[in-house]
């Protein structure tokens, strides 16, 4: 499933809320929307990498190391994707284990790094330090701050929807966030929220965000630079600058591959008008147990998924509105 649709939805909802609550924050986000939305997805999901590559057509497929056995175009067996950097070859799974916890803060730590994870109560201090350091150390700080704010929306949204942080009372199909209900979440966010309510051009938003530059501030808020600034002062442990340059290579690959994924995802989420109503992608229907698009939307309405999205947007907005831009 996409991942990107949910995280853009959380970020856009939060932006809508801070328009009235924190106009200065909202104005900065509006001026650097592409960077804000890039941070909302690529600022955290560093495992946005191919799973496999076709040796015949060169096509790349899958996500984060997972892929089907054969190429959908020519049926050739796919070769597992790897990233080679400075003579060392990394699988997507290895990159995930190295970096995922660092970008998500509250969970996902591997390789003995769990001691560096944070508690929910520590997030305001961590975010404030990251924003302050961005103004202090980086050129074009406003664009980079927008990127950091997008990343903040990802950290909060993921923690809530994955029940790492209690607070949501969602039971959709078979739980809060499950492989089976993710198509419902994506289709609702894409069509009901994005298209019907907000008239979003998803293709345009997704294209623009992958065109944004690799932001070196991401290495700082992931504690992969030399320790410095308020972030190092408040959180002195867990810094690993030896992997900073590898992260930049990964971030470049994230943008390159997401550019390939974007049109596929938009096509997968498209609807077909049939005599008996709207039909969604067959594979998405199969994942839910054979539900039709209309049945999925009815389930989402009954479960209060729209209210859940609003709750996540509100939680993100509270963090964003508390940020000081006095620097």
Q: What is the pLDDT of residue 326?
A: 63
Q: What is the pLDDT of residues 141-188, one digit of tens each?
A: 999 999 999 999 999 999 999 999 999 999 999 999 999 999 999 999
C-alpha to C-alpha distance for 165 and 96, rounded to whole angstroms: 21
- CA distances 240 to 222, 230, 253, Å, are 9, 17, 21
C-alpha to C-alpha distance for 239 and 252, rounded to whole angstroms: 22
- Identify the bridge partners of residue 274 per DSSP, sorted by sequence position: 277
- CA distances 147 to 61, 130, 198, Å, are 27, 11, 22
| Contact criterion met (CB below 8 Å) for 284 and 268 | yes
**HEC assignment per residue over the chain:** CCCHHHHHHHHHHHHHHHHHHCHHHHHHHHHCHHHHHHHHHCCCCCCCCCCEECCCCCCEECECCECCCECCCCCCECEECCEEECCEEECHHHHHHHHHHHHHCCCCCCCCCHHHCCCHHHHHHHHHHHHHHHHHHCCCHHHHHHHHHHHHHHHHHHHHHCCCCCCCCCCECCECCCCCCHHHHHHHHHHHHHHHHCCCCHHHHHHHHHCCCCCCHHHHHCCCCCCCHHHHHHCCCCCCHHHHHHHHHHHHHHHHHHHHHHHHHHHHHCCEEECCEEECCHHHHHHCCCCCHHHHHHHHHHHCHHHHHHHHHHHHHHHHHCCCCCC
Low-confidence stretches of the chain (pLDDT < 50) are none
The two three-digit tokens of residue 123, written as one number = 């997030």
C-alpha to C-alpha distance for 228 and 230, rounded to whole angstroms: 7
Q: What is the pLDDT of residue 1?
A: 54
The two three-digit tokens of residue 267, written as one number = 């096509």
| Contact criterion met (CB below 8 Å) for 160 and 315 | yes
The two three-digit tokens of residue 320, written as one number = 């964003």
Q: What is the pLDDT of residues 32-75, one digit of tens each?
A: 999 999 999 999 999 999 999 999 999 999 999 898 889 999 99
Q: What is the pLDDT of residue 106?
A: 98
């Amino acid at each position: 499933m996409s991942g990107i649709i949910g995280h853009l939805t959380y970020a856009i909802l939060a932006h809508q809320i801070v328009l009235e609550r924190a106009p200065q924050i909202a104005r900065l986000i509006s001026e650097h929307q592409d960077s804000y939305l890039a941070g909302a997805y690529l600022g955290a999901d560093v495992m946005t990498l191919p799973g496999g590559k076709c040796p015949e057509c060169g096509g790349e497929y899958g996500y984060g190391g997972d892929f089907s056995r054969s190429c959908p175009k020519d049926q050739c067996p796919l070769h597992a994707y790897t990233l080679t950097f400075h003579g060392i070859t990394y699988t997507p799974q290895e990159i995930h284990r190295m970096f995922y916890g660092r970008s998500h803060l509250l969970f996902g730590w591997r390789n003995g790094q769990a001691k560096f994870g944070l508690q929910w109560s520590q997030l305001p201090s961590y975010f404030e330090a990251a924003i302050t350091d961005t103004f202090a150390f980086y050129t074009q700080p406003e664009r980079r701050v927008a990127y950091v704010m997008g990343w903040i929306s990802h950290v909060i949204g993921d923690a809530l929807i994955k029940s790492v942080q209690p607070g949501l009372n969602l039971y959709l199909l078979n739980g809060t966030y499950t492989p089976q209900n993710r198509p419902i979440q994506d289709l609702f966010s894409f069509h009901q929220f994005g298209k019907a309510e907000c008239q979003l051009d998803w293709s345009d938003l997704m294209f623009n965000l992958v065109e944004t530059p690799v932001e070196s501030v991401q290495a700082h808020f992931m504690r992969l630079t030399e320790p410095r600034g308020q972030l190092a002062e408040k959180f002195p442990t867990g810094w690993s600058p030896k992997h900073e340059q590898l992260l930049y290579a990964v971030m470049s690959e994230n943008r390159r591959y997401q550019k390939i994924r974007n049109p596929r995802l938009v096509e997968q989420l498209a609807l077909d008008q049939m005599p008996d109503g709207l039909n969604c992608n067959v594979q998405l229907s199969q994942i839910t147990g054979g539900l039709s698009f209309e049945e999925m939307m009815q389930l989402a309405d009954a479960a209060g998924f729209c209210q859940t999205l609003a709750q996540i947007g509100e939680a993100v907005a509270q963090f964003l509105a508390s940020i000081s831009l006095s620097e």
